[in-house]
Amino acid sequence: MPKVLIQSDLFYSNIVVSDDECSATLVDFEEATYYYRVFDMEMTIIGICAKEEIIDLAKVNSLLKGYAEEINMTNME
């Protein structure tokens, strides 16, 4: 599977949105590493698409749809 530079800790607390909500900045790259791209997606699903222990599949669907507009994932991913 493809490896890339990943943030690997994408939670709401690591995203700063501008006051006008037109841009966002990622922070906290302490866990950044060169690793499997799919691992970053898994961590983002846990960090962004889950509320307590329940994963919101509608959010996952939106996340993956937006991601696919930018990145072509392999069948294995």
pLDDT tens readout for residues 7-66: 999 988 999 999 999 999 999 999 999 999 999 999 999 999 998 889 999 999 999 999
**3-class SS of residue 7:** coil
Nearest to 2 by CA among 33, 44, 38, 32: 38
**3-class SS of residue 66:** helix
Predicted local distance difference test score (pLDDT) of residue 73: 86
pTM: 0.79
Task: State the average pLDDT over residues 64-69.
Answer: 92
- The dihedral sign for the CA sequence 17, 30, 39, 37: positive
74: pLDDT strictly greater than 90: no
Predicted local distance difference test score (pLDDT) of residue 42: 93
Distance between CA atoms of residues 42 and 52, nearest Å: 16
77: pLDDT strictly greater than 90: no
Q: Where are the domains of the chain?
A: 3-70
In the chain, where does DSSP find H-type helix? 37-48, 57-70
